[in-house]
Amino acid sequence: MSAIAHNNDHFDGRLAALRLAGSGLIAFGVFLSGFVISEPAPYELIMVVQIGIWFLLGLKISRTVAPLLVALLTFNMSGLFSMFVMKDMSEAPMYFAVSTFLALSSVFYAAIVEDDHRRLNLIFKAWVIAAIITSLLGIAGYFNAFPGAHVFTRYNRAMGAFQDPNVFGPYLVAPLLYLLYRMLTGPLVKVPLLILGMLVLALGIFLSFSRAAWGLLVFAGIALVIVMLLKERTTAFRFKILAIAGGAAVFLVLALAIALQFPQISDLFMNRAKLVQEYDGARLGRFERHKIGFLMAMERPLGLGPMAFGKIFGEDEHNIWLKTLTTYGWLGAITYQIMIWSTLWFGFRYMLRERPWQPYLMIAWVMILGHAIIGNVIDTDHWRHFYLLLGIVWGCVALEHRFMRSQGISKARVPA
């Protein structure tokens, strides 16, 4: 009997060590999401390997996560049909390979979150570290802080270790929200360090000169504070949230005012701060292309194919709702709409319940809603962090369903 017990203990120890190594690999994968200078990036390589390993070792897709998998596979399969109407489909296979990988990464994140909610803390900490490093690279590049630093900029805008400032900026927002949440709910002794991290991320977002990122930051910051005020029941804690949030906002505005004293920054800011740029409202500008694109898409059930719209008009769609129509066809567009709005519905339904995973669900839900809004002026279908957020929301929903089953609670009887 003692030998059997010893063998069981040895097996349990090996299993615990394997799970610890797996969690470390997950954190490393999330960390690499902040460094996508070329494609395929190290992120893709690491994630492909570990997705395969985790599922081979028995990671399961629950009944709650399965609809996400079905929706994403339907979305991508409908995109493959668009290739039949393309004259030149040389770039299409790689495009849909990336799309399918991102879809599987989202399902993977949902599954590993449902498997152990403690991984959420690991994921967000890895994201914060990656965001701060890539933000510092972008800031250094903008000010040309060292020889060769210009590689971290494009069009005189900070882009960090990314290919595009318009992806770099939004990538930094969720880690900033995480630090903001920690500041609002944690001990005051940690506030200075948290503010320092927020300043680095806010400056990176600002120097990206991405209007979508600016709008996302303002919206998400306000939305998170509102959600937290709804969540907290005590007047004293609500006052603390308002006071600290107000103080942080004033501090960030002062930091912005100081940054605008540099002519290099103020000139570009005044140009980018215009709500409608010349390339937005001009003839065949962004908004007119949106109108023409939607009319074209109504006549093409299978879509135009990936990047076909850009070849016709010289610019990509810059609208995720139009992009789903032109690249993934009618079925893909409908599937994407269902997926996004069901994600927001389930997340909203469960995010105010006191659970260990509640803070992460709140942040991810606010970010998904923010991405749905900025999707009107930008394409998000290949943003790695968007699929991470999607997986977090569905993973937390799956955790909630599992919790209710363990308590013998019917979902139909639980108030929203």
Query: pLDDT tens across 210-269, in order?
Result: 989 999 999 999 999 889 888 877 777 788 788 877 777 787 778 777 777 777 677 666
Please write the tens of the pLDDT for every residue from 168-178: 999 999 999 99
Amino acid 414: pLDDT: 47
Number of domains in the chain: 1
> Residue 364: CB partners within 8 Å, gap ≥ 6?
174, 347, 389, 392, 393, 396
Whole domain around residue 299: which residue ranges?
2-413
Predicted structure pTM score: 0.89
* Selection from 399, 404, 341, 415 nearest residue 116 by Cα: 399
| Selected residue with higher pLDDT from 277 and 233 | 233
Instruction: Tell me if residue 161 falls in helix, strand or coil.
Output: coil
Element (H, E) at 311: helix 308-313
Percent of the chain surpassing pLDDT 90? 51
Q: What is the pLDDT of residue 10?
A: 53
Summarize pLDDT for 293-345 with one digit per residue, the tens. 888 888 899 989 898 888 888 788 889 999 999 999 999 999 999 999 999 99
pLDDT of residue 198: 92
Contact 185, 226 (CB under 8 A): no
